[in-house]
């Protein structure tokens, strides 16, 4: 039927020029009405002269046109009450109040500088409501929100696409609403495009889903967003390119290795009894024993596949392989082993020799920068400075290769987000997102609840028990500052007057 601008009448309320797109499922239109009226889709009765909207647009066939009047019946959920205590800011507080904790400012927290002297009140971002086993989706969305390039691309995307539109609307709601967002419309378009996430259990409720599968599904769908030079944005930002050599390791087999290249949106951390650290698990995943038909031996034979990374992206998504299928009980089980990760990560050992050679110049710049910082720190200590501030950089080098926008040109990363799972099975449990904000704070998003946490709490998510365990880590390319003579002189001058 197409797309129409209609008018909606709901009791005494009237909404004009509301777009109806019959190429989308009626659930999307119901979600639009929910956003307008707060009437949940299950309580909506939508009518046009001569027809009532059901699970398809059949009853509206031939009745929709621009300017048509649509009647909505149904009671709305109550609007949230105004908070009893509004946030209070520094200008309105007495000195004694500033020394108290931050519980009096509601969804806000206190921020101090490194000297503990400057005070301000910062807003805590809002969470996302759980619509019934949708914590996996809420966590993925919160982790994706740490990528400003993706937010910009969503805002600038002009093509008609329900999935992109609803994701953009959800993000706008998270940015502008003082309360947790309800992802009803986005959940509906997700189900329409990926029916596996719409599966329901015996009691009729939505099943718990795998957050990593949701992460990859959403990222692959967003391939249509253009990056630099109209390239694929997600491949530009997350694309890891591998080079692999597969060779028969049995006597008499083929001696020449088969060379292949592959692109993926994440890398995997293999976990066994020997893996205690992230890098160890990543390196183990690059070596694989496989069995396949040998033309030379004319039978199944053992092969070894060795891979190296030939392209590092700006954002590195790491999936911890914590779930495996138990054939005996025919269900999934979880590896609870403690695998340490840090706030800084060096991918050098995962790269092939060609990429390592390209990384060397900027790695040398980072080394010189670190040496200068250590020298400055030593000189400050010799001068008896007690409170030492790190240098405040204002100039930065580019961190991508000229011919490859969105790449990493030195191999170092900093931790940006962690998605965790609590439970023993991929079919159950609970997912939470922990993300680092632009001001340096770490926020824990437990569905609609958002709280400030410490970096130590985030690093404690490495596993070893039934508490939340890292399942996906998102690393961002480390900034490459420019250490100028003026900066060094300023630092030394501050040091002498401290």
pLDDT of residue 242: 97
For the chain, residues classed under CATH 3.10.20.90 are 3-73
| Confidence at 498, pLDDT banded by 50, 70, 90 | very low
Across 404-413, average pLDDT? 96
pLDDT the model gives residue 404: 93
Whether the model pTM is above 0.85: no
* Distance between CA atoms of residues 23 and 38, nearest Å: 24
Question: pLDDT digit string (tens) for 202-259?
Answer: 888 889 999 999 999 999 999 989 987 667 999 999 999 999 999 999 988 888 899 9
Strands (DSSP E) found in 327-424: 331-334, 344-346, 396-397, 412-422
Percentage of residues in the chain having pLDDT higher than 90: 54
CB neighbour burial string for 288-302, b if at least 16 within 10 angstroms, e if fewer: eeeeeebeeeeeebe
Could you identify the residue written with the tokens 């109806």? 20
- Find the mean pLDDT for residues 138-161: 93
Torsion of CA 105, 107, 112, 118, to 10 degrees: -50
Residue 83 DSSP one-character state: P
Task: Summarize pLDDT for 342-352 with one digit per residue, the tens.
Answer: 999 999 999 99
**pLDDT single digits (tens) 32-89:** 788 778 788 888 999 988 889 988 888 888 888 899 999 999 988 665 554 454 444 4
Q: Domain 3-73 adopts which CATH fold? A: Ubiquitin-like (UB roll) (3.10.20)
For tokens 């939470």, the residue is 432
Catalytic residues: 135, 430
CA pseudo-torsion sign 289, 293, 298, 299: positive
The pLDDT value recorded for residue 371 is 84
CA distance 415 to 398: 19
Q: Are 112 and 102 in contact (CB under 8 A)?
A: no
Q: Which of 31, 205, 212 is nearest to 139 (CA)?
A: 212
CA distance 152 to 224: 14
Mean pLDDT of the chain: 85
Average pLDDT over residues 159-181: 91
**In this structure, are residues 116 and 391 in contact, taking their beta carbons and an 8 Å threshold?**
no
Q: Are 133 and 209 in contact (CB under 8 A)?
A: yes
Reply yes or no on whether the pLDDT at 286 is more than 90. Answer: yes
User: 115 pLDDT exceeds 50?
Assistant: no
């Amino acid at each position: 039927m197409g797309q129409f601008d209609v008018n909606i009448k709901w009791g005494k309320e009237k909404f004009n020029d509301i777009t109806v797109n019959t190429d989308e499922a009626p659930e999307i239109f119901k979600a639009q009405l929910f956003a307008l009226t707060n009437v949940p889709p299950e309580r909506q009765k939508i009518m046009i002269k001569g027809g009532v909207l059901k699970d398809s647009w059949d009853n509206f066939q031939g009745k929709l046109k621009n300017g048509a009047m649509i009647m909505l019946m149904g009671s709305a959920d109550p609007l949230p009450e105004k908070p009893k205590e509004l946030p209070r800011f520094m200008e309105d507080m007495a000195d004694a109040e500033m020394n108290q904790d931050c519980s009096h400012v509601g969804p806000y927290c206190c921020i101090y500088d490194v000297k503990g002297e400057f005070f301000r009140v910062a807003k805590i971002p809002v969470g996302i409501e759980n619509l019934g086993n949708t914590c996996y989706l809420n966590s993925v969305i919160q982790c994706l929100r740490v990528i400003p390039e993706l937010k910009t691309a969503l805002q600038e995307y002009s093509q008609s696409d329900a999935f992109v539109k609803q994701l953009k609307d959800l993000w706008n709601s998270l940015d502008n609403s003082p309360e947790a967002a309800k992802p009803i419309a986005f959940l509906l378009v997700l189900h329409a495009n990926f029916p596996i996430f719409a599966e329901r259990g015996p009691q009729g409720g939505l099943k718990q889903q795998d957050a990593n599968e949701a992460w990859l599904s959403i990222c692959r769908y967003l391939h249509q967003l253009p990056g630099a030079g109209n390239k694929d944005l997600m491949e530009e930002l997350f694309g890891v390119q591998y080079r692999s050599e597969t060779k028969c390791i049995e006597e008499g087999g083929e001696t020449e290795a088969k060379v292949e290249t592959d692109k993926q949106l994440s890398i995997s951390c293999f976990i066994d009894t020997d893996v205690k650290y992230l890098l160890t698990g990543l390196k183990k995943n690059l070596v694989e024993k496989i069995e396949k038909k040998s033309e030379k031996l004319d039978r199944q034979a053992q092969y070894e596949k060795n891979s190296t990374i030939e392209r590092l992206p700006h954002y590195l998504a790491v999936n911890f392989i914590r779930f495996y299928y138990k054939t005996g009980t025919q269900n999934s089980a979880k590896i609870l082993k403690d695998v340490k990760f840090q706030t800084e990560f060096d991918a050098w050992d995962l790269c092939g020799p060609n990429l390592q050679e390209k990384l060397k110049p900027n790695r040398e710049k980072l080394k010189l920068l670190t040496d200068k910082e250590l020298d400055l720190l030593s000189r400050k200590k010799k001068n008896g400075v007690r409170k030492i501030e790190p240098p405040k950089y204002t100039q930065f080098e580019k961190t991508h290769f000229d011919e490859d926008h969105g790449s990493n040109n030195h191999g170092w990363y900093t931790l940006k987000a962690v998605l965790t799972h609590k439970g023993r099975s991929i079919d159950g449990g609970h997912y939470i997102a922990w993300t680092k904000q632009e001001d340096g704070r770490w926020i824990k998003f437990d569905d609609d609840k958002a709280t400030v946490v410490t970096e130590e709490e985030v690093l404690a998510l490495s596993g070893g028990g039934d508490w939340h365990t890292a399942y996906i880590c998102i690393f961002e390319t480390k900034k490459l500052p420019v250490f100028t003579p003026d900066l060094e002189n300023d630092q030394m001058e501050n040091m002498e007057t401290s």
